[in-house]
Structure 1
Amino acid sequence: MKKTVLPTIIILLSVFLINIFIQKDIDKETIVAKNMPVPVIQSGNQSVEPVLLFKDNGKITKTLVDKAVHKAHAVNVNPYGEVEIKLPDNDAPLKLSEWDPKTGRELQPFEGGYIPVLANEPGTRVIIIRVETDAGPAVYLGKINVLKLYSFQELLHPAGNVYTILVFSEGESGIREVPSGDETKYVTREVRGTVAEFKEKYHGLDIKNLPTIYVFHQGAIIFRSEDMKELQSFITDISTTFFLGESENWQVELRARQNLSEGTAELFITYKGQDEKPKKMDFHLSGRGWSWGSSGKIPDESGKIFSSSDMRYKLSEIDSIPIELTWDGKKEEIILAYRKNPY
């Protein structure tokens, strides 16, 4: 009996001492974290705090990163969303870089506090965050997860202001870059295969015949055809698109004259409320990748306001455009919906 009691006591004592040391390490890490200003990773309404790798000077190792990756929470970001990393209430500079899990090395650093989101590369990315504050230097690790929302996402151009033209054609499976007129505005890719292959792989698209052509803006389909001449017309010909909306107080019309490379927009706002017409008003519109607003607009004698602007982004039938109107301490939001030529 005595022979078995002693080893048991030794084991229990060892476990107790190990737990004390572990708790001390946890407490030490917690104290360090509390004494340091902690960065915040933000995307839209989401925000997470990164994991502290070490305070003061140290060396980033693969083992250290692998442990931190399991502890860190990822912020989810849409394919064309934005990720900002900053120190709340602190102007201390941040240095950001990406960690490559395959090679166990840091990649090139990022400029400023924004992480460029690569829409065509969905998945988790590991970010190294270096801070310099009055409390001393520290290194953190954060994660962002670029969501995969489209079956064709890897085919899209990663920049939100560049259109993607995909031409699905028959042939040996593969993807070919096609020279475009202005690659700062749109890129063209030919995707070869069979109808059966495309239906299985790109289930979000309605491909029944080949060729089938799609034009995308930030994942949204703004054009579809099986005729290359129609595509050429869509790219080069100027067309007018109308959007209308109204409330008890206002009637709004937006006219966009555009092709895929350039265009202008005209906004007609008419006050129709029962009260005296406003002396001044502000408006703000927003859409996929663009916004437009103005303040201090003065209605004419009939209560009408006119404004115009360049419109770089191609508007289409699928768009639904909110406009916010502010006047005399009041505010309204009206949704402008597509209408065929109302005249």
Structure 2
Amino acid sequence: MIFFKGGVQIKKYALPAAIIILSIFFLNTFIDNEKKERVDTNDSDAPEIASWENKVKSVFVFKGDRKITNKMVANAAKKAAVLEIDPAAEASVKLAHNQSQMELSEWDLKAGKEIGKLEPYWILGTLNNLDTRIILIRAKTDEGTVTYLTKIKVKKNYSYQELLQPDLDGYTLIVFSNNDEGIGDLALNSQNYITQEVKGNLPELQKKYPDLGIRTLPSIYIFQGMMRVFKSEDMSELRSLITEVKKNVYEGANENWHVQVHAKQNISVRSAEIIISYREKEAITGEIAIIFRGEQWGWELPKGELQSGTLTVSGQTPVFLSKTEQLSVELSWNGKEERIVLEDKGEK
């Protein structure tokens, strides 16, 4: 069928044909632009993310300043390799030689948005967040902004890792119990402390947290970052630590040495004075090396020389001393070494 308009003959199918031609033109333009992005951005341009000897290449997302969408991030994330890092470790981000002005941010796929800016060049791990994190890497080139993506996952090295607070300088109080009484007024929640209560029967908790060595319930632990600084099986000992300043004496001896440790501690203080006395008549010249040891820690104190047969050293202990802690002092001098086991002599 033929229509006439203004003296011009128009076929009925001319308009749809024009629309099809325009659609093909725009589609080809879009495809050409995508191809151009792929050509302009090759693997050698992708920033490298590394933690110790482990390395991955980031994945290209897009070039330019257009708005990023959750779909774009999700598609790129499918192609990205995961870099696993140790708890509280960090991964370095290295740009290509033709890139500068790095910007890092974290993307939440569930929320569909960026959830925080990060400091350039380093991606810090976390203690208790074991989810795979998506990190966007933006950089400037001579041709404009380019955006890449990488994925980071913290290794689970400890069974109790998810109970710890993320701050390496902060403290976590964990109480394992099988009753309904709970920790009550002993919970510590402040800028430096968080409290976790975990309830269950003994076999269940031993199986779930094998590296804690839970022997009975209740079992009480305090961690500073990842380091255990207190262990007890007595709630009254925890109460004393929180509410009082305790002064305890630990003592041990053998035929050559007598050692006393005077400890002063509460929830915010932990100090000790170690008095070492030499019992033998044979003179010792030179410095004596001293290591104060617990079950899972060692504290190397400053070396010193005997003065009238006695050497006294002091400082802040790396952990809170507990009634159940097996303590000892190791002494080394003139190529010799001895270990003196200490006993808790109670409060001073």
Return the TM-score normalized by structure 2.
Answer: 0.57
- What residue is the counterpart of 1:227 in the other structure? 234
1:166 maps to a residue whose letter is I
State how far apart, in whole Å, the 1-side matches of 2:181 and 2:237 are: 25
Superposed, 1:15-30 pairs within 5 Å as 29=38
**Counterpart contact for 1:41–1:83, Cα < 8 Å:** yes
- What residue is the counterpart of 1:128 in the other structure? 136
Q: In structure 1, the residue corresponding to 2:38 is in which secondary structure?
A: helix
Per-residue CA deviations over 1:124-179 (Å, capped at 9, x if unaligned) read: 11111111233421111110011112222221111111121211122359999964
State how far apart, in whole Å, the 1-side matches of 2:100 and 2:123 are: 18
Cα–Cα, structure 1 residues 183 and 101, in superposed 2: closer, same or farther, change >3 Å? same
**Counterpart contact for 1:96–1:128, Cα < 8 Å:** yes
**Counterpart contact for 2:90–2:122, Cα < 8 Å:** yes
Is 2:160 aligned against 1:160? no
Question: When the two structures are aligned, how many residues end up with a matched partner?
Answer: 259
Superposed, 1:272-287 pairs within 5 Å as none
Is 2:91 aligned against 1:95? no
CA RMSD of aligned residues (A): 4.9
**Counterpart contact for 2:37–2:63, Cα < 8 Å:** no
Please, which runs of 5 or more residues in structure 2 have no aligned partner? Answer: 1-30, 251-260, 274-284, 287-304, 306-312, 327-338, 343-348
State how far apart, in whole Å, the 2-side matches of 1:176 and 1:116 are: 35
State how far apart, in whole Å, the 1-side matches of 2:270 and 2:99 are: 40
State how far apart, in whole Å, the 2-side matches of 1:221 and 1:232 are: 18
Q: In structure 2, the residue corresponding to 1:123 is in which secondary structure?
A: coil
State how far apart, in whole Å, the 2-side matches of 1:240 and 1:85 are: 51
1:98 maps to a residue whose letter is E
Per-residue CA deviations over 1:286-338 (Å, capped at 9, x if unaligned) read: xxxxxxxxxxxxxx9xxxxxxx99869548899xxxxxxxxxxxxxxxxxxx9
Residue range with higher mean Cα deviation, 133-142 or 109-118: 109-118
Cα deviation, residue 122, structure 1: 0.7
- 1:144 aligned to 143, 149, 152, which one? 152
- What residue is the counterpart of 1:183 in the other structure? 190
State how far apart, in whole Å, the 2-side matches of 1:156 and 1:226 are: 19
State how far apart, in whole Å, the 2-side matches of 1:197 and 1:107 are: 37
**Counterpart contact for 1:178–1:190, Cα < 8 Å:** no
- What residue is the counterpart of 2:60 in the other structure? 52
**Counterpart contact for 1:98–1:128, Cα < 8 Å:** yes
Cα deviation, residue 234, structure 1: 5.7
Cα–Cα, structure 1 residues 118 and 89, in superposed 2: closer, same or farther, change >3 Å? same
Cα–Cα, structure 1 residues 98 and 257, in superposed 2: closer, same or farther, change >3 Å? farther
Cα–Cα, structure 1 residues 166 and 35, in superposed 2: closer, same or farther, change >3 Å? closer
Cα–Cα, structure 1 residues 258 and 154, in superposed 2: closer, same or farther, change >3 Å? farther
**Counterpart contact for 1:54–1:139, Cα < 8 Å:** yes
- Give 1 or 2 for the bigger CA radius of gyration: 2
Superposed, 1:239-258 pairs within 5 Å as none
Cα–Cα, structure 1 residues 158 and 59, in superposed 2: closer, same or farther, change >3 Å? same
Cα–Cα, structure 1 residues 176 and 234, in superposed 2: closer, same or farther, change >3 Å? closer
1:129 maps to a residue whose letter is I
**Counterpart contact for 2:51–2:91, Cα < 8 Å:** yes
**Counterpart contact for 1:170–1:194, Cα < 8 Å:** yes
Cα–Cα, structure 1 residues 70 and 173, in superposed 2: closer, same or farther, change >3 Å? farther
Superposed, 1:305-324 pairs within 5 Å as 314=319
State how far apart, in whole Å, the 2-side matches of 1:53 and 1:114 are: 20
Superposed, 1:269-308 pairs within 5 Å as none
